[in-house]
Each structure stands twice: as C-alpha cells, then as structure tokens.
Structure 1
Amino acid sequence: MVSAAAQAGVVAACVVLFVPMGLAGWHLSRNKVLFFSGALFVSLAVGVHLSPYLPSVPHLLATSFFVPGPGAASAAASSSGSSCVPFLHRVSWSDAASAGSSSAGAAANGLGGGTARTWSWPPSLASACGFARLSRDDASLLLNGSWVMVAGDSQARLLVLALLRLLLDPAAAAAAEPELFRRHSDYRAAVPARGISVDFVWAPFESNLTRLLREDLRLAPRVPDVLVLGSGLWHMLHVTDAASYGDALASVAGAAKSLRSPLPVPPPHMFWLGLPHLVNHMLNTDAKRAHMNGTMLRTYDHEVDQRGLVRGDGGPFLLLDVGKLTQGCGQHCTADGMHYDGEVYDAVLHIMLNALVIESQQRI
C-alpha cells in the first residue's frame, strides 16, 4: 500500500513537472533545443525530489530477477551466484528404471541396499540457477590442475569413490576401488591428462583433522585447492558425548581458519561432509544400536551448526548435507543403516562441484 507521504509526493511532482513544461512549450515552441533542455532540467529536479519515495535500483533488479518455482523450491537467479547456493541440496529422489553403475557398485561392496534410486534437481531450479550434472570432460576441466583432498572416515571414502567414478573410465575406477577400500589406510590417485591429484586421508576422529590442518598441511609446500573434511561417526560410537564432539569441532574450525589466513595464494575451497541419516534397527552391532540413535544424531548435528564450523555459523566450511540427502533417498538405499548407495554420494559430489562452479566465478 502506498503511504500518504508518497501520494502527496507524486501529486506535487506532477504539478512541478507538467505546469512548467506546459508553459515552456507555449513560450519556447520555436526553440526546440531550449524547450528540451528545460524539460530535461525539470525532469531531473522531479527525480531528485521523488527519489526518497522510490525503491532502490538494486532492489528493483533483485525483484526483477526473482524466478518463482513450485512451493519452497523457488530460486533467485540474480547476478550473484551465491544466492543459489542455499538451493543446492533441493534434490528430488525417484526410482530408477535400472541400477546405475554407482548404485550397483556400492551394493556389490556391501555399501548400499541395491534398490535403484536416482536424483535430480527440479527443472525450474536447475534452469534458474544453472545446476547440472557434470560429464567426465566437464568435471575434468573444472578440476584441471587441482589437488583435491578428502579426509575423514568411511563416508569420506565413499565420496572419493564417487569422484573417481566420475573422473576415470569404468575400468580404471574399478581397478582403483580395492586400493581405496583398504581398511584404515590412506589413498592417492591421479588423472595425469588433466594434472588432477586426489588424496584420501584416513582421519576418523576430529583430532586427526586438527593435526592435518595445523601440522601436515602447514609443512606442505602446497595446500589443496579443494579440501573436504568430515567426522563424527567414530566419536558417536566410541565417545558418545555431543559436548565433547562440539569442542573438537571448534578446534577443527580454528585450525581451518588459521590455515587460510597467512596464505599468499587463494585459500582452499573448504567443505564439511555432514553425518548421514542413521537407520538404528539396521545397524550391525549392539554397540552401534545403543549409541548411534536418533537422539544422539540430532545432538551431534546441533554441534555442527553451533560451533563456528560451517558458513551459516560464520565458519570456513560449506556444509555438504549428507543427512538430508540420505534421508531423502530412504532406508531402501542402505544395507547397514549407515553407508548408502553410490547414487547418494554422486549427489553429494555434484552439489560440491556446482558449488565450486559458483565460487570459482565469484573469485574471478
């Protein structure tokens, strides 16, 4: 609703604008240059007087670029790609006609339930924000010359598997899998044609991640271009203390910030791999069923949100919300209540890659 002050301003502006222009037209009709100069002067004067009552230009542009979509999934396709980042996890799940290689491979390794599910972004959201599944060539071009490091527990290992399946041909990815899944071990791979290096660091506890950031990477001649960290499952099982987990996360956040600050080059793109949805009755040991329940999972997730780790709380990491994605895929996508089909980690990977596209454009 237009305020009374605005209405009065418009009326006054009309008087100021049209009366002088009419008089100018009557007296200056023989001198068109003088007439239009006077009209321009009066128009500018009116604009100055009306400006307090009009919305700002950036506000008008932002409103013009708002693209409505179905329900809460609408996105703002503005000139800043960061406005699309909150919508990266808005994926939909559906039954696939047949199991893809990632789902079938995960099921063969006992890492998922084997029920074929596939994911996608809603078409309106994909169109507004430009989200897309990357081909092998596109992903290789995006990561050209990059060092990607993923550190954490088995969830992090599954993300590396999804990355290798995207970057390598099927035979090479299958050959790499046994080495990647050596129990409690690190792993390194390379894509020589693109100069891409991929490291997995076995770091199941938060103290392992803090040491990696404060010691190992500080002594390295180069830091990773993309750094993905995640932990919590081992702490939940063996320590079972959310407050202690939160304190450890605060240390990780501090170490990550200190790693970024003194660098003479752009800092790494940092991502935090969230905890998966746990299906308690499917967990395969009594200890897991006792300690890794829904209540404990919620308290651990709360610590991630509150300890200055992720960007929404002022932290350095963009959250990869594995919990939301695994819950969306459902318990049919897991065989043990904790590790999910490869399609889930493919979704995590493409959310990360699309975030990299946005961040890379912003750094140019």
Structure 2
Amino acid sequence: MLGAVQLGLLAACVVLFVPMGMAGWHLSRNKVLFFSGALFITLAVGVHLTPYFPSVSDFVTSVSSSSSSSSSSSSSSSSSSGYGGADDVVLVDDNDRGSCVSFLHEIDWEVKPSMDFDPLVHKNSLNYNKSWSWRRSSSVESCEFQRLRRHHVSDLLNGSWVMVAGDSQARIFAMALLGLVLDSERMESVRESLFKRHSNYHVVVAEMGMKLDFIWAPYATNLTNLVMEFKENHVYPDLLVMGCGLWHMLHINNASDFGAELGVLRNSVASLLPISAEFGSDGPVTGSVSVRSPHLFWLGMPTLVNSMLNTEEKKEKMTDLVRVEYEREVERSNMLRKFGGPFQLLDMGSLSWNCGNKCTDDGMHYDLVVYEAGVHILLNALLIESNQKL
C-alpha cells in the first residue's frame, strides 16, 4: 500500500513541476500545454498497464511488502517485550511434550521437625513440616512445571466432570484436589462428608461449573463394573483417576489374581474409549478415530512401611515383597501408558518413598501434602496433553 502511494505522489510531482520548469525556460504556452497533456496521458496509461508487466508489479509489491513487514515486526517486538502474566496461555513445543512427561515426578522433599517438636513426646507425622518442589536441574526447569493456584485450576477444570474411583488412597487424593478449588471453610464440611466409611461422594463447585465424584471401588472388579456403566449409559467423565490394590493385597493376597483382574479392567477401558484400542507412549496411535476421550490417570500404590502398619494381619500380608509383586502385575497388565496402555501413572510409590516415614502415621496412608504433590503432577500433565501452559 505504501509503495503505491509513493508512486502516485511521484507522478503528481512530475505532472505538476515539469510543465512549470518548461514554462521557466520561456517556451510557448501551446508547447507547455501540449507537453503536460501528453505527459499526463502517458502516466495515466502507465498506471493502468502496470499490473500487466510482471517486473513492475513485482517491484511495487516488494516495496509494499517490505514496508508492511517492517511495521508488523516492530509492533510484534513491542508487544513481545511485555510480560504476559500468569493468566496467559502459551503453546508448548510438541518436541518437548514427551520429554516433560517423563520429568513430572522429579520432586525433592524437605522434611524437618516443627519448631515445637519434642521427640520424647511427639512421634507422629503431624510434628514435621513437609515441603516439596520440582528438582533443580536444567531438564526439569526447561519444562516450567507450576504449582497451580486456585484460579488456574478453575480455568483448567472449568465445566469438567471429574471422577476419582478406588480405595482410601483415592479418597485422600480427591480431598487434595478439592483443596485446590474450595476455601478452608467449605473444606471442613467436605472432609466430614467425604470420609464417611466405604461411601461415595458427590460435590458441585458451582463457581467453576465443575462436578467431582468419588466412587468407593477398592477392587479392580469394582472399577471394571464402573467402566461398563459408562459404556452402557454413554456418559463419560472428562477426567478419570483410578487406583486399587491395597484391599486385594490384604484380603485376597494373590498377585496373579490381581493381574488377571487388571487385564479385564484394561480391556474394558479400551473398549470404553472412542479411540483405537492401541496406544502409543503419548496417547492414541496416529490414525485413531478419536473424537472425545476422557483423560485417564492410574493412582499407583504408596510405599508401605511394614513396621508401622497398625495390625498384625497387615504386617504379615502387606510386605515389601508382596507389594513389588503387585506393582509388577500393574506393568504386565499394560494398564500404563508407558507400556502401551491408556492410563498415565501418578506414581504415589515414588512420592511417598521420597517423603519418607515421617510423612505417615500408619505406614500406608500418607499426609495430605503427598497427595497434593500428586494432584499438581496431574494438573501439569493435563497442561502438557493440551499443549499449553498457564
């Protein structure tokens, strides 16, 4: 546009000032008028014929393009020089997507006695201060993992149906998630209702349009039945977190049987999803016919501190050796995404192990902060899956 304007001004100057210069040479009036008329007609014809001469058109276009690109680059540099703030959504490079998922559990813990701690009087985990952060390494820091605040979680889960299904570990995980979206006063009433023994729980967070269901499902067969209900009703949650194993370990204590149940669950989930039953390391394989599918996470079993378990039956059946066998069955069942399955692992085993026995009172259930770390891992995994960050 700018090049065309410049050419027009140049033509106007030629038409105006050349005849004036000729008049200054004392030529006759008729010669001046004749020359100026001929010049005007020539320029007018030239302007109309310019599009039909590629070399001239390319010149005009190049002038116009360079002018517009320089203006746009300056405006772009001025806008990018400012800081967008925490609420802006930024796309994540696809090349970094898979590698960042592998670093999600790279977390360091700081566990130290509280100021009023007296080891002769206090022996439980509540008398230790625990804090965590993602490991300080170049690979982890490049992923820019974030501990999301309430308004971030509201944006991410706005309008979602979240379901957490499993045993007591899943119940605590659900409470940790609600702790990020509800205030402390409402959390008191939630805690009382959520922890009614062996019961389901439902809550709607109206201000963000999110509903959360906790389903008591301590066995893999319970989870399979739940999945089949989804399939029968054609209604699926947007986010589904599942986990089990502890009850089976205590009451049945047969790793092979547990693995067989997981295989049935895995096949049920694969048939539930509106995608191909085959999965890659980062999700459905290329060419699958996905339209909409829930985000799936598997809540791994925590580290068991055998000496701290509160019954003799638990100490006898829930040993380290048995726990390893149960975890091996989870891998063999191909439940997890890294083994070709549909679920992304929330590795509560590593989180609880790194926090240590100062983070548990009964050797099985850990302090809420451990599950809060798991929730933040889940939320950052969702950001990676959606190719964005807050």
Query: Shorter-chain TM-score: which interval?
Result: 0.7 to 0.9
Measured after TM superposition, the shift of residue 231 of structure 1 is 0.2
For 1:269, which of 282, 286, 295 is the aligned residue? 295
TM-score (norm 2): 0.67
The aligned counterpart of 2:378 is 352
Measured after TM superposition, the shift of residue 341 of structure 1 is 0.5
Measured after TM superposition, the shift of residue 226 of structure 1 is 0.5
- 160 and 359 in structure 1: CA distance in 2 versus 1, 3 angstrom threshold: same
For 1:88, which of 80, 104, 113 is the aligned residue? 104
**Residues 112 and 336 in structure 1, CA contact (< 8 A), matched pair in contact too:** no
**Residues 112 and 342 in structure 1, CA contact (< 8 A), matched pair in contact too:** no
Hey, what's the Cα distance between the residues in 1 that align with 2:304 and 2:244?
14
For 1:249, which of 242, 247, 262 is the aligned residue? 262
Measured after TM superposition, the shift of residue 126 of structure 1 is 4.6
- 125 and 179 in structure 1: CA distance in 2 versus 1, 3 angstrom threshold: farther
**Residues 114 and 128 in structure 2, CA contact (< 8 A), matched pair in contact too:** no
SS at 1:229's partner residue?
strand
Hey, what's the Cα distance between the residues in 2 that align with 1:114 and 1:223?
42
In the alignment, structure 1 residue 334 sits paired with structure 2 residue 347 = no
Query: 2:377 is aligned with what amino acid?
Result: I
Measured after TM superposition, the shift of residue 221 of structure 1 is 4.7
Hey, what's the Cα distance between the residues in 2 that align with 1:242 and 1:303?
7
In the alignment, structure 1 residue 320 sits paired with structure 2 residue 374 = no
The aligned counterpart of 1:176 is 190
- 189 and 98 in structure 1: CA distance in 2 versus 1, 3 angstrom threshold: farther
Hey, what's the Cα distance between the residues in 2 that align with 1:97 and 1:166?
25
Query: 2:159 is aligned with what amino acid?
Result: G
**Equivalences for 1:1-364 in 2 at 5 Å?**
79-95=95-111, 113-123=126-136, 124-214=138-228, 216-261=229-274, 265-361=291-387
Query: 1:323 is aligned with what amino acid?
Result: G
Query: 1:122 is aligned with what amino acid?
Result: R
Hey, what's the Cα distance between the residues in 2 that align with 1:79 and 1:323?
28
SS at 1:120's partner residue?
strand
**Residues 113 and 128 in structure 2, CA contact (< 8 A), matched pair in contact too:** no
**Residues 274 and 291 in structure 2, CA contact (< 8 A), matched pair in contact too:** no
Hey, what's the Cα distance between the residues in 2 that align with 1:113 and 1:330?
13
Hey, what's the Cα distance between the residues in 2 that align with 1:125 and 1:321?
19
- 191 and 98 in structure 1: CA distance in 2 versus 1, 3 angstrom threshold: farther
SS at 1:79's partner residue?
helix
Hey, what's the Cα distance between the residues in 2 that align with 1:305 and 1:176?
34
Query: 2:217 is aligned with what amino acid?
Result: A
SS at 1:93's partner residue?
strand
Give unmatched runs, 5+ long, in structure 1: 1-76, 100-110
Hey, what's the Cα distance between the residues in 2 that align with 1:273 and 1:151?
9
- Bigger CA radius of gyration: 2
Measured after TM superposition, the shift of residue 217 of structure 1 is 1.1
Measured after TM superposition, the shift of residue 266 of structure 1 is 1.3
- 112 and 185 in structure 1: CA distance in 2 versus 1, 3 angstrom threshold: farther
**Residues 303 and 364 in structure 2, CA contact (< 8 A), matched pair in contact too:** yes
SS at 1:201's partner residue?
strand
Hey, what's the Cα distance between the residues in 1 that align with 2:253 and 2:212?
32
Give unmatched runs, 5+ long, in structure 2: 1-92, 116-123, 276-288
**Residues 125 and 131 in structure 1, CA contact (< 8 A), matched pair in contact too:** no
Hey, what's the Cα distance between the residues in 1 that align with 2:126 and 2:255?
29
Measured after TM superposition, the shift of residue 265 of structure 1 is 3.7
Query: 1:145 is aligned with what amino acid?
Result: G
SS at 2:298's partner residue?
strand
Hey, what's the Cα distance between the residues in 1 that align with 2:177 and 2:114?
21
**Residues 94 and 387 in structure 2, CA contact (< 8 A), matched pair in contact too:** no
Deviations 1:262-303 (A, max 9, x none): 697411000000010000011011110000000000000111
**Residues 112 and 339 in structure 1, CA contact (< 8 A), matched pair in contact too:** no
- 181 and 206 in structure 1: CA distance in 2 versus 1, 3 angstrom threshold: same
Deviations 1:165-218 (A, max 9, x none): 11101111112101000000000111111100111000000000000001x212
- 96 and 137 in structure 1: CA distance in 2 versus 1, 3 angstrom threshold: farther
Tell me the C-alpha RMSD between the 2 structures.
Answer: 2.1
Query: 2:142 is aligned with what amino acid?
Result: A
The aligned counterpart of 2:46 is none
Measured after TM superposition, the shift of residue 305 of structure 1 is 1.1
Hey, what's the Cα distance between the residues in 1 that align with 2:259 and 2:155?
37
Hey, what's the Cα distance between the residues in 1 that align with 2:326 and 2:158?
36
- 160 and 298 in structure 1: CA distance in 2 versus 1, 3 angstrom threshold: same
Query: 1:128 is aligned with what amino acid?
Result: S
Hey, what's the Cα distance between the residues in 2 that align with 1:358 and 1:281?
39
Hey, what's the Cα distance between the residues in 2 that align with 1:270 and 1:114?
35
Hey, what's the Cα distance between the residues in 2 that align with 1:112 and 1:181?
20
